[in-house]
Amino acid sequence: MSNRQSRREQSKTRPARSTRAARVTPAKPQRGGGGGGGSDLLSRPFLLIAGALVVVLVVVLGVFIATSGGSSSDDFVKSLEQASTNLPTDMVDGAKIGSDDAPVKITAFEDFQCPFCLQFTAEQEGEVIEQFVKTGRVQFDYQHLPILGAESVKAALASQCAADQNKFWQYHNRLFLEQAKNDQFGNEKNNVGRFSDDNLKKFAADLGLDTAAFNTCFDSSEHLDLITEQGRIAKQFGITGTPGFLVNGQPLGAGTPSDIDAWRQLVEQVEGAIATATANASASPAATGTASPAATVDATPAATPTP
């Protein structure tokens, strides 16, 4: 059964809301890191909340089921165009958007041909950026899991070449806009030329990128190792379908927030866990002790390699 068919069957058999908690089974993470949050996540308050965060994700995900929301391709087009207009370019760092000091770090593993990634981007991502990234509560990091064929890999490579010119998010929106215009969510077609070499280069030119630099980067597959590594890390966390998410280094597992209210609930729960752990660390004499090895493993932010 294909990735899309499997997700459709899930959406048919699951209610929009459920009280059954999803099971989170993170694979053993490895140390990684890079700009934007690695050292913060290894500080004592984050070590203390590692176990609590898993509990938060299990409980909250009991009501998180992805649904179509009744949106059409026209709705997706409008949302993506609006997202490009509202993009906080001063908060962009490559494929990351938001402050390094944000307490909640969301990592998304996606495929530019994935219809459910299109749905998330059009229906939820812009609101996450508007409500939580712009206010300093969340940093959002896009990483690659290109599982749908050659054009998925090419689109990922092209987006990273755009990131070299700090235009990742503009290019990301342009790729998903192309999919929305072709009704990829309602009528999925992969590797049909939408992300041909010529089209990917044209998108770069349309966005005003330095096309000579972009084309050299793209033609040489400059960022293939990065994309391969991000896919490997995703699979280590048990993420094999798209979109998949980590929150402060912990996988969301079987659930995906279904709307902006669900994301708000998740962000608030994580913020609350951090505040409680920080207060306990300040009040407890044990706060100056050495964290246990198990806590360190749980909190390791493996999925943040530097582009």
Write the CA distances from 161 to 81, 94, 154, 271, integer angstroms: 22, 10, 11, 34
For residue 91, what is the domain's CATH number? Answer: 3.40.30.10
In a domain, 305, yes or no: no
Q: What is the pLDDT of residues 140-152, one digit of tens each?
A: 999 999 999 999 9
Are the CB atoms for 69 and 112 separated by under 8 Å?
Answer: no
Can you give the pLDDT at residue 300?
Answer: 36
- Residue 154 banded pLDDT, cuts 50, 70, 90: very high
In a domain, 153, yes or no: yes
Can you give the pLDDT at residue 63?
Answer: 40
In a domain, 285, yes or no: yes
- pLDDT value at 175 more than 50: yes
Q: Which domain holds residue 189?
A: 3-299
Q: Which residue has the higher pLDDT, 11 or 216?
A: 216
In a domain, 223, yes or no: yes
Q: What count of residues does the chain have?
A: 307
In a domain, 84, yes or no: yes
In a domain, 230, yes or no: yes
CA distance 134 to 98: 7
CA distance 156 to 158: 5
Q: What is the pLDDT of residues 177-186, one digit of tens each?
A: 999 999 999 9
| Element at 187 (helix H, strand E) | none
- pLDDT value at 153 more than 60: yes
138-144 vs 104-110, strand pairing mode: parallel
Q: Which residue has the higher pLDDT, 303 or 2?
A: 2
In a domain, 306, yes or no: no
In a domain, 67, yes or no: yes
104-110 vs 92-93, strand pairing mode: unpaired
Mean pLDDT of the chain: 79
- pLDDT value at 306 more than 50: no
Can you give the pLDDT at residue 252?
Answer: 87
DSSP 8-state class, residue 288:
G
Q: What is the pLDDT of residues 38-63, one digit of tens each?
A: 333 333 443 344 444 444 444 444 44
- Residue 33 banded pLDDT, cuts 50, 70, 90: very low
- Please state the domain count of the chain: 1
- Residue 286 banded pLDDT, cuts 50, 70, 90: low
pLDDT mean over 96-107: 98
pLDDT mean over 75-97: 95
Tokens 């079987």 -> residue? 254
- pLDDT value at 215 more than 60: yes
Going by C-alpha positions, the residue among 175, 165, 160 that lies closest to residue 122 is 175
Structure token pair of residue 49:
């909340």
Return the HEC string of 132-160: HHCCCCEEEEEEECCCCCHHHHHHHHHHH
